[in-house]
Copies of this chain bind each other. A is one copy, B any other.
Amino acid sequence: MLHEDRLFPANEATRAIARRIYEGIEDLPIVSPHGHTQAGWFVRNEPFPDPVTLLVQPDHYIFRMLYSQGISLDELEIPPQRLRPVAGDPGGKTPVKDPRKVWHIFASNYHLFRGTPSRLWLDYVFEKLFGLTERLSAKTADMYYDTIESKLRTPDFLPRALYERFGIEVLSTTDSPLDSLEDHKAVRESGWKGRILPTFRPDATVDPAVPGFQENVAALGKLTGEDTASWSGYLRALAVRRQYFKSMGATATDHGHPTARTADLSESKAEWVFGKVLAGEADAEHEELFRAQMLTEMARMSLEDGLVMQIHPGSVRNHNAQLYAKYGRDMGADIPMPTDYVHALKPLLDRFGNEPGLSIILFTLDETAFGRELAPLAGHYPCLRLGPPWWFFDSPEGMRRFRELVTETAGFYNTVGFNDDTRAFLSIPARHDVARRSDAAFLARMVAEHLLDEDEAVELAQELTVGLVRKAYKLEAVRSKE
């Protein structure tokens, strides 16, 4: 199923260059600085459950496509979000009554994924991990199911064994400030050499639109011993948790706001808005203003503690109201919207944009911003770097457009390599492979058109694969500890 030249340009001379570039990066370690795996998997090191609970249930790329073609979530036995934490979780109990039946639905509709990155990732997992080389279909569904299920029960498919087999150098998770990081602690103390790092994602405590915001702020106070009912106590509490995350290996924060808006309010105005949101008296504009101010507060704290800041804006979450009411969030109904950066980031940049110690990695779901705003911003401000194409754009075409739109203005060195950004642990090598092949293809085209020399392309490929990632996410220290 997997052709050795997949994703390389058809032109023979260019393809030969792409092969040579790829050879230099194919076997480099996987540096995964942003994603949604769980530290607990590596603490417990239990087997992953059946194929459906592993590959279908937790993957909104997959069930959204099936749903879009009229297959109901009931047929797929997709549970509501509150029952889904265990889905795909090694050792988790499967909530699926008839996984083989669901697998058949998936297999019979595998043609729907033609042309999607899911197809690329799945074929890679099927062939490289499970040795399956005939295409998935209704006909091969049982053979697939049996093969995968039996392999999952072998020691080679336990989380730690896979981590090592995948050649992972470091794997960052994404965690709430309220998380005790007990699992991260347990990994560190286990003697196992894998490096699982937490990331400080404070949305639940800084975004008033998150259900339970007030309770979360109170819990933050309890956890830190700070008076989070006061603005200064609230900020201190966040700083304390950041410090704790840092002590557990965190090198970065992450911020999933609806927009990229920032603010630089006076102390008293900020305190006033905090009072409004905490009292539950804020309207939408107050909530937006508070989030905006919090991005600037986070930048200020980053200057103090050195954590790299990631901003992931621009998604209309839970667009499907009926599904949200019934199933909760993360049902494949998050839809991007136009996202402004040039005005939105100005207040933060006016205050901290030239600080040598600050580092902010920007992401977008609005590709029009790449050439128009993001590359010009990152090609000027010393604190800004551009994250890789995200979510719907984590794909061969998305990566090609990203490089085409960004490189001429911001160069390669204002980008930060690849993020797999996934909760699908098994797909991590597949995703990095697509990124490496896409980079090799892009660089090969530049060499073939004499825009770069081949030695430069080879060096750049290394940078995009590991060098710039380690640097941007300050992972050198982690590495040198090995």
Contact = CB atoms under 8 A, between A and B. Distances in A.
Interface of A: 2-3, 5-14, 64-65, 67-70, 111-117, 119-120, 135, 316, 319-323, 332-338, 340, 342-343, 346, 349-350, 353-354, 356, 365-368, 371-373, 375-382, 384, 392-393, 395-398, 401, 404-405, 407-414, 445-446, 448-453, 456, 459-460
A308 to B, nearest CB: 14
Given A3-B450, A321-B350, A335-B373, 9 more contacts: A5-B450, A9-B449, A10-B14, A320-B353, A320-B381, A321-B349, A337-B340, A366-B368, A367-B371
Nearest to A69: B413
Contacts of A407: 115-116, 397
B320 A65 contact: no
B356 A366 contact: no
Given A116-B408, A319-B346, A414 B372 contact: no
Contact of A7 (B413, B450, B456): B450
A278 B374 CA distance: 36
Given A68-B378, A321-B350, A381-B68, A135 B335 contact: no
A409 B334 CA distance: 12
A456 B337 contact: no
A70 B382 contact: yes
Contacts of A8: 449
A382 B381 CA distance: 42
28 contacts: A3-B450, A6-B449, A10-B11, A10-B448, A10-B449, A67-B380, A68-B410, A114-B411, A115-B451, A115-B452, A116-B408, A117-B408, A119-B451, A320-B354, A322-B350, A332-B379, A332-B380, A336-B372, A337-B372, A338-B338, A338-B372, A365-B372, A366-B368, A366-B372, A367-B372, A375-B392, A376-B392, A398-B408
A392 B376 CA distance: 8
Nearest to A14: B10
Q: How many copies does the complex hold?
A: 3
A368 to B, nearest CB: 5
A408 B379 contact: no
Given A10-B11, A322-B353, A450-B3, A335 B377 contact: yes
B409 A135 contact: no
Contacts of A113: 411
Contacts of A378: 68
A346 B324 CA distance: 13
A155 to B, nearest CB: 33
Nearest to A463: B111
A336 to B, nearest CB: 5
Nearest to A456: B114
Contacts of A411: 65, 112-116
Nearest to A413: B112
Nearest to A377: B335
A378 B392 CA distance: 13
Contacts of A68: 378-382, 384, 410, 414
A342 B392 CA distance: 15
Contacts of A114: 411-412, 452, 456, 460
A334 B9 CA distance: 36
A354 B323 contact: yes
A114 B452 CA distance: 7
Contact of A69 (B112, B353, B382): B382
Contacts of A366: 368, 372
Contacts of A379: 64-65, 68, 332
A302 to B, nearest CB: 16
Contact of A453 (B135, B323, B452): B135
Contacts of A356: 70
A261 B114 CA distance: 32
Contacts of A323: 354
Given A68-B379, A342-B319, A350-B322, A115 B336 contact: no
A179 to B, nearest CB: 29
A335 B376 contact: yes
A380 B6 contact: no
Nearest to A347: B321
Contacts of A112: 411, 413
Contacts of A349: 319-321
A211 B114 CA distance: 46
A3 B448 CA distance: 10
A333 to B, nearest CB: 5
Nearest to A368: B368
